[in-house]
């Protein structure tokens, strides 16, 4: 099977209005090609193939390197919302497993710790391989996690980040400890695991507060 066939195979397996990432296409094709094939040539060919699909209106561009197959309605073609794109790119992987979570002022607002309404969302995600990257189109900062995020640990890590408050967000409530305890209780989090992850991530502030709450 040649490069074009592999590209089309990958795209055919994507649903309409689902984000299609250039990086994922290239990974798929390279993985399924002969190991002797020149990677630079593969990437160049893929770029040409995608360009042709765009000209033929078989694909649409959301942002650079992000495409989708549009659904035609009676009046217009549909597109992808930024919220959905953020979820698919930074919060869950292709199999639906959690690989990121929201932090910062946006999260503080969601749980009632502040009335601030930030126009930028901070997300800790496995997709970030460096310290911090800003996506202007999506108004998102992505941050590298201290440890790999998965279905089992993401709520623990998110809570620890709430306690740490490394951005020094102004907390506008007097019952911070009670809110933290309520989150722990409602999410069925185990204190032993919270302490374990706090130690792994070297979150001294969280350890001190958790010990205080547990008394």
pLDDT digits (tens, 9 = 90+) for 9-25: 999 999 999 999 999 99
Q: Is there a contact between 25 and 50 (Cβ–Cβ < 8 Å)?
A: yes
Gap between the Cα atoms of 121 and 118, Å rounded: 7
Cross-strand partners of 60: 68
Tokens of 100: 């990121």
pLDDT for 39: 86
Gap between the Cα atoms of 201 and 71, Å rounded: 44
**Cβ-based neighbour number of residue 31 at 10 Å:** 8
Tokens of 16: 């309409």
- At a CB cut-off of 8 Å and minimum separation 6, what does 102 contact? 91, 110, 121, 122, 123, 158
- pLDDT tens-place values along the chain, 215 residues long: 689 999 999 999 999 999 999 999 999 999 888 777 788 889 999 999 999 999 999 999 999 999 999 887 777 778 889 999 999 999 998 888 999 999 999 999 999 999 988 999 999 999 998 888 999 889 999 999 999 999 999 999 999 999 999 889 999 999 999 999 999 999 999 999 999 999 999 999 999 999 888 77
pLDDT for 37: 77
Nearest 5°: the CA angle 158, 163, 107 is 50
Which of 147, 149, 66 minimizes the C-alpha distance to 102? 149
pLDDT for 178: 92
pLDDT for 1: 63
Which of 13, 38, 39 minimizes the C-alpha distance to 27? 39
pLDDT for 112: 94
Backbone angles phi, psi at 100, to 5 degrees: -170, 170
Gap between the Cα atoms of 33 and 36, Å rounded: 8
pLDDT for 94: 82
Q: How many residues does the chain have?
A: 215
Q: Is there a contact between 49 and 3 (Cβ–Cβ < 8 Å)?
A: yes
Tokens of 179: 């809110």
pTM given for the model:
0.83
Domains of the chain: 3-68 (1.10.10), 82-214 (no CATH)
Which of 25, 3, 1, 27 minimizes the C-alpha distance to 14? 25
E strand or H helix that includes residue 29: helix 22-31
């Amino acid at each position: 099977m040649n490069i074009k066939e592999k590209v089309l195979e990958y795209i055919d397996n994507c649903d309409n209005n689902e984000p299609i990432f250039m990086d994922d296409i290239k990974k798929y094709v390279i993985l399924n090609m002969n190991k002797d094939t020149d990677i630079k040539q593969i990437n160049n060919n893929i770029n040409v193939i995608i360009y042709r699909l765009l000209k033929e209106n078989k694909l649409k561009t959301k942002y650079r390197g992000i495409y989708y197959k549009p659904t035609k309605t009676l009046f217009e073609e549909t597109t992808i919302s930024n919220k959905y794109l953020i979820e698919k790119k930074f919060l869950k992987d292709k199999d639906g497993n959690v690989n990121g979570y929201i932090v910062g002022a946006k999260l503080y607002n969601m749980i009632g710790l502040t009335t601030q309404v930030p126009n930028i969302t901070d997300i800790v995600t496995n997709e970030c391989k460096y310290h911090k990257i800003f996506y202007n189109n999506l108004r998102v900062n992505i941050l590298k996690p201290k440890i790999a995020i998965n279905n089992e640990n993401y709520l623990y890590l998110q809570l620890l980040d709430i306690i740490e408050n490394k951005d020094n967000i102004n907390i506008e409530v007097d019952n911070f400890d009670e809110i933290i305890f309520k989150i722990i209780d409602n999410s069925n989090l185990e204190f032993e695991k919270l302490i374990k992850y706090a130690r792994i991530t070297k979150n001294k502030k969280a350890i001190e507060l958790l010990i205080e709450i547990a008394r």
